[in-house]
Structure 1
Amino acid sequence: MKIKRVSTGSEGLDEVLAGGLINNRNVLVRGPPGAGKTIFGLYFLSAGVKAGEASLYVNMGEPQTYVEETAETFGLEAEEISFHNLSPTEEEFTEDSSYSLFESAEVEQPEFVAHLRETIADVNPDRVLLDPITEFRYLTSDERQFRTGILGLLDHLKDVDATVMLTSQASGAITDDDLQFLVDAVISLEVDEGSRAVTVSKFRGSSFRRGKHFYGISKDGLTVWPTLVPGKQTREVPAGTLSSGVSELDELLYGGIEQGTVTILSGPTGVGKTTTGLQFLTQAALGNKKGVLFQFEESQRTLQKRADAIGIPLQTALEDGQLSVVEIDPNEFTVGEFEHMVRETVSDGTEVVMIDGTQGFQQNLRGIEDPTSALLRVGRFLRAVGVSTFLINEVHNITGDFQATEERTSNLADNIVFLRHVEYGGEMRKVIGTLKMRTSDFERSLRELEITKDGIQVGDPLPQLRGILTGTPEWNPSGSETE
Structure 2
Amino acid sequence: MGDSVSHNRTRTGLRQADAILDGGLLPASGTLIRGPPGTGKTIFALHFLADGVRSGETCLYINLGEPTAYLRDTADSFGLDIDSVNFLNLSPSEAEFHDDQTYDLFRSGEVENSSLVENVRDEVDAIAPDRIVIDPVTELRYLTTDDHQFRTQILGLLDFLKAGGATVLLTSQTAETIADDDLQFLADAVITLDLEGDRRTLRISKFRGSDTQRGPHTVTITGDGMCVWPKLVPNDHSQEFTSETLSSGVPELDSLLRGGLTTGTVTFLSGPTGVGKTTTGLQFMKEAAGRGQRSVLYSFEESRSTMLERAEAVNIPVEAMLERGTLRIEEIGPDELTVDEFTHRIRQEVEGEGSEIIMIDGVSGYERALRGNGDDATQHLIKIGRYLRNMGVTGLVTNEVHRITGEFRATEQQMSHLADNIVVLRHVEYKGELRKVIGVLKMRTSDFENWLRELQITEHGLTVGEPMSDLRGILTGTPNWEDDG
| Structure 1 residue 430 corresponds to structure 2 residue 436 | yes
Matching residue's letter, 1:157: L
Alignment of 1:82-161 (within 5 A): 82-88=86-92, 94=104, 97-101=107-111, 103=112, 108-110=113-115, 112-161=116-165
Given the alignment, which residue of 167, 172, 175 partners 1:168? 172
Given the alignment, which residue of 350, 354, 362 partners 1:357? 362
Matching residue's letter, 2:387: F
Given the alignment, which residue of 161, 171, 183 partners 1:179? 183
Give the match for residue 420 of structure 2. 414
Give the match for residue 304 of structure 1. 308
Give the match for residue 481 of structure 1. none
Distance 2:256 2:401 in 1: 22
- Going from structure 1 to structure 2, the CA distance change for 1:423 and 1:144 (only over 3 Å counts) comes to farther
Deviant stretches of 4+, over 6 Å: none
- SS state of the match for residue 386, structure 2? helix
- SS state of the match for residue 56, structure 1? strand
Could you tell me which runs of 5 or more consecutive residues in structure 2 were left unpaired when the two chains were aligned: 1-6, 98-102
Give the match for residue 448 of structure 1. 454
Q: Does 411-420 or 3-12 show the bigger shift? A: 3-12
Given the alignment, which residue of 71, 74, 98 partners 1:70? 74
- SS state of the match for residue 79, structure 1? coil
Does the CA contact (< 8 Å) of 1:237 and 1:259 recur in 2? no
Distance 2:194 2:178 in 1: 16
Give the CA deviation at 1:330. 1.0
Structure 1 vs Structure 2: percent identity of aligned residues? 54
Distance 1:275 1:96 in 2: 71
Distance 2:413 2:262 in 1: 23
Give the match for residue 54 of structure 1. 58
- SS state of the match for residue 44, structure 2? helix
Alignment of 1:267-306 (within 5 A): 267-306=271-310
Give the match for residue 221 of structure 1. 225
Distance 1:166 1:53 in 2: 18
Give the CA deviation at 1:256. 1.4
- SS state of the match for residue 348, structure 2? helix
Give the match for residue 15 of structure 1. 19
Does the CA contact (< 8 Å) of 2:214 and 2:231 recur in 1? no
Does the CA contact (< 8 Å) of 1:380 and 1:412 recur in 2? no
Distance 1:31 1:215 in 2: 13
Distance 1:42 1:287 in 2: 48
Alignment length, in residue pairs?
Answer: 472
Q: Does 215-224 or 68-77 show the bigger shift? A: 68-77
Does the CA contact (< 8 Å) of 1:376 and 1:409 recur in 2? no
Give the match for residue 100 of structure 2. none
Q: Does 250-259 or 375-384 show the bigger shift? A: 375-384
Does the CA contact (< 8 Å) of 2:90 and 2:105 recur in 1? no
Given the alignment, which residue of 447, 455, 468 partners 1:462? 468
Does the CA contact (< 8 Å) of 1:399 and 1:470 recur in 2? no
Give the CA deviation at 1:80. 2.9
Q: Does 16-25 or 184-193 show the bigger shift? A: 184-193
Q: Does 34-43 or 81-90 show the bigger shift? A: 81-90
Does the CA contact (< 8 Å) of 1:94 and 1:139 recur in 2? yes
Give the CA deviation at 1:459. 1.9
Distance 1:330 1:168 in 2: 35
Matching residue's letter, 2:354: G
Give the match for residue 267 of structure 2. 263
Distance 2:160 2:38 in 1: 30
- SS state of the match for residue 271, structure 1? coil
Matching residue's letter, 2:444: R
Distance 1:226 1:48 in 2: 23
Distance 1:290 1:475 in 2: 41
Give the CA deviation at 1:400. 4.5
Distance 1:220 1:97 in 2: 40
Distance 2:30 2:61 in 1: 14
Give the CA deviation at 1:84. 1.0
- SS state of the match for residue 470, structure 1? coil
Matching residue's letter, 2:273: T
Give the match for residue 247 of structure 1. 251
Give the CA deviation at 1:366. 1.8
Give the CA deviation at 1:425. 4.8
Give the match for residue 396 of structure 2. 390
Give the CA deviation at 1:144. 4.1
Give the CA deviation at 1:235. 4.3
Give the match for residue 374 of structure 1. 380
| Structure 1 residue 331 corresponds to structure 2 residue 335 | yes
Does the CA contact (< 8 Å) of 1:423 and 1:472 recur in 2? no
- SS state of the match for residue 293, structure 1? strand
- Going from structure 1 to structure 2, the CA distance change for 1:378 and 1:448 (only over 3 Å counts) comes to same
Deviations 1:322-348 (A, max 9, x none): 222111011112222212221221211
- Going from structure 1 to structure 2, the CA distance change for 1:313 and 1:48 (only over 3 Å counts) comes to closer
Give the CA deviation at 1:406. 3.9
Deviations 1:293-342 (A, max 9, x none): 11110001211222233333223323333222111011112222212221
- SS state of the match for residue 109, structure 2? helix
- SS state of the match for residue 390, structure 1? strand
- SS state of the match for residue 265, structure 1? strand
Does the CA contact (< 8 Å) of 1:423 and 1:471 recur in 2? no
Could you tell me which runs of 5 or more consecutive residues in structure 1 were left unpaired when the two chains were aligned: 479-483
- SS state of the match for residue 438, structure 2? strand
- Going from structure 1 to structure 2, the CA distance change for 1:320 and 1:379 (only over 3 Å counts) comes to same
- CA root-mean-square deviation: 2.9
Give the CA deviation at 1:59. 0.8
